[in-house]
Amino acid sequence: MNKIQPINLVFAFLGGLVLLFIVAPLVGMFISTSPEAIIETSKEAEVQKSIWLTLYTAMAGTAIFAIAAVPFAYLLARKKFPLKRLVLGIINLPIVIPHTAAGIAILGFVSRNSVVGKMASEIGLDFVGHPAGIAVAMAFVSLPFLINAARDGFAGVPVRLEKAALNLGASPFRVFFTISLPLAWRNILSGLIMMFARGMSEFGAVVIVAYHPMITPVLIFERFGAFGLKYAQPVAVIFITVSLVVFVILRLLSRERKNAES
């Protein structure tokens, strides 16, 4: 019979405190919000529109930037080049800088007076106060999650398999799409889910670029500032519930894909 070590009890107690710190505020918020308030708030058109806007802008930002991020992650995993450490540090900058500062930087980059803003205006697109600007802000703060996860996935693909395919006459593009990408797909899918989830929860960068139309985190902030906790809390409960449902569904889909491949 294995004897329980005192150090394991101490670590388990500390872990329990961490879990309590995470769960207790959320449980308290759900308990203190009446079902009637949740039902009435969920019927509001403004709340429904903000949730849909949040979901599809986060999904659009993830899908669009993944087209460039995944091949870039492969390059980072496979190639050595000058200043690679600097590049890796730059990738993680959005995680460490304040997100309001990130919003200011994005606003200056896509504003009507910037080069990007002027080019966009020529095709009738204005990032400021537009879902496109929201998607850009979300992608900016969440992109490192996808790049880092995909890079780890590609790094785990045996190089000998790629070299063998190249020696047999396969082109580098074919090797990437038939060997590297399928074998790293689990990590890439996890990165996509994390990028989507992080983008969906963003507030600081988005509120600078596009206060209107309102995504749900901005709506929660506005209602709290204008009406107080009583009116903001039901929206927060609804959005957290939707976020958890979406996250669980995506995780289940990724697990089914893993089971199908194994």
Between the alpha carbon of residue 233 and those of residues 35, 37, 91, 95, 216, the distances in Å are 12, 9, 35, 27, 12
- 66's tokens: 């993944």
Which positions of the chain have pLDDT values less than 70? Answer: 1-2, 256-262
Closest CA to 221 of 238, 237, 209, 233: 233
Q: Which H helix or E strand runs over 164?
A: helix 159-167
Crossing angle (nearest 10°) for helices 84-91 and 45-78: 170
- 148's tokens: 């880092």
Give 169's DSSP letter.
Answer: T
Cα 47 from Cα 123, distance rounded (Å): 31
Give the global pTM.
0.90
- Give me the pLDDT at residue 256, please: 62
Tell whether omega for the bond before 82 is within 30 degrees of 0, i.e. cis.
no
- Give me the pLDDT at residue 30, please: 93
Cα 180 from Cα 153, distance rounded (Å): 9
- Give me the pLDDT at residue 209, please: 95
- Give me the pLDDT at residue 32, please: 93
Domain ranges of the chain: 36-261
What type of residue sits at position 126?
D
Between the alpha carbon of residue 105 and those of residues 58, 119, 135, 138, the distances in Å are 19, 18, 15, 13
- Per residue in 116-155, pLDDT (tens digit) is 989 998 888 889 999 999 999 999 999 999 999 999 999 9
Contact (CB, 8 A) for 110 and 127: yes
Contact (CB, 8 A) for 227 and 26: no
- Give me the pLDDT at residue 125, please: 87
Cα 43 from Cα 41, distance rounded (Å): 5
Domain 36-261 annotated CATH 3.40.50.11540: no
- Give me the pLDDT at residue 2, please: 66
